[in-house]
Amino acid sequence: MRKRPDFIVGLTVLLTAVALVSALVWVRQTDVSNRRQRVVARFRDVGNARVGNAAMIRGVRSGRIDRIELADDGAVLVRLSLERGTTLPRDPVVLLNESSLFGEWQATITERAALPHDEAVQRQLDAVSGDGMIPGATLPDIAKLTAVAGQIAGDVAAVAGRVGVAFDDAAAKELRASIQNFAVLSSTLARTVRDHENDLDTLSSKLQNAVRSLDRTAQTTLEIANRVDSSMTGGELQQLITDLGAAAADLRKTTSTLNGMANNLAATQARLDNFLANGDSVFKKINTGRGTIGMLVNDSSLYVGSDSLVTALRALVIDVRANPKKFFNLSVF
């Protein structure tokens, strides 16, 4: 009679306890079989990070914060449990930051080189580096940023209030006059710039051309200098001077020969002049109809007579061919 209640009560207690413990283990993601790898990071402070917050690597949830404790030197040690086989980035650091606007925090494991340029973060990391642990830094939470923003807004409001007090009607008029003056000045300046815009363009263009020319000249000079250098170093210049001496001697010899030829050419020219003068005299006589050739050239009657003679001769030849016996009487006996 007593055993049945004992069994039922015992069974109920055991089942409920097992279910509750299992649920706790599952919800807390407790590493029962010790299959996770653990890393420890040092922080100057951890903000609102808590046990159970996610550990992220490149945006992927890779573990959780297992424990947060104070170290002897005043630093805060954060123990992270990561999935087995998780590869940490090179030169890792841990950043604690809010993951949403609703108070959730996370530990982001990243490379030091990938950190944002933030002096505060660098200072925190420098302060906790060493001891073989991963250095960590905490980014300000939204509440702090909001508080700072609120303070800035308050300061701006105070400044605005003071400006409001100092900025009376007279100041407004002076400011308006100043603005008008400034407008006129700006207009004048713009006109001046427009007027000289073309000149400036031309000047600029010429300047650019000059600079380009100078550049080319400098380039050429540089090339020449290089060649001179190479010539000096290779003994080519000495050879060039020797060749130049020989060439000068040859040139002197050639000049002498040319002088002789020039003298001969002068005599030839004199004879040619004489020949041409005689020729001119002959042609002049011919043109004036003096002498036999002159008369032949200038009198057409000779041509006409000759032509008629040729005609008569051609008729004679034809006649001879046709009637040879008329003209030739060959008798042997």
Region 92-121 residues binding another protein, contact defined as CB under 8 A: 100, 102, 104
18 is a site residue for another protein (CB under 8 A): no
**What character string, x for contact with another protein (CB under 8 A) and - otherwise, covers 37-56?**
-------------x-x----
Structure tokens of 215?
Answer: 């550049």
CA 113 to chain centre: 28
Please count the other Cβ atoms lying within 10 Å of the Cβ belonging to residue 128.
23
Pick the piece of the chain touching another protein (CB under 8 A) from 17-25, 78-86, 87-95, 176-184. Answer: 17-25
User: Residue 53 CB, nearest distance to another protein (Å)?
Assistant: 9
**What character string, x for contact with another protein (CB under 8 A) and - otherwise, covers 20-39?**
x--xx--xxx----------
Q: Say how far apart CA 55 and CA 29 lie, in whole Å.
A: 13
Confirm if 40 and 130 have CB atoms less than 8 A apart: no
249 is a site residue for another protein (CB under 8 A): no
Measured from the CB atom, the residue of 23 and 295 that comes closer to another protein is 23
For residue 93, what are the contacts with CB-CB under 8 A and spacing of at least 6?
109, 110, 111, 112, 115, 125, 134, 135, 136, 137
12 is a site residue for another protein (CB under 8 A): yes
Residues in contact with another protein, counted by CB under 8 A, come to a total of 21
User: Residue 143 CB, nearest distance to another protein (Å)?
Assistant: 17
60 is a site residue for another protein (CB under 8 A): no
What are the backbone angles phi and psi of residue 87, rounded to the nearest 5°? Answer: -95, 125
239 is a site residue for another protein (CB under 8 A): no
258 is a site residue for another protein (CB under 8 A): no
Measured from the CB atom, the residue of 2 and 90 that comes closer to another protein is 2
User: Residue 77 CB, nearest distance to another protein (Å)?
Assistant: 18
Which residue from 83, 163, 96 is spatially nearest to 134, judged by alpha carbons?
96
Structure tokens of 41?
Answer: 């990071």
What are the backbone angles phi and psi of residue 227, rounded to the nearest 5°? Answer: -65, -45
E strand or H helix that includes residue 301: helix 301-322
Pick the piece of the chain touching another protein (CB under 8 A) from 13-21, 158-166, 295-303, 325-333. Answer: 13-21
Q: What is the CA radius of gyration of the chain?
A: 61
Which residues of the shown chain bind another protein in the complex (CB under 8 A)?
Answer: 2, 5-6, 8-9, 12-13, 16-17, 19-20, 23-24, 27-29, 50, 52, 100, 102, 104
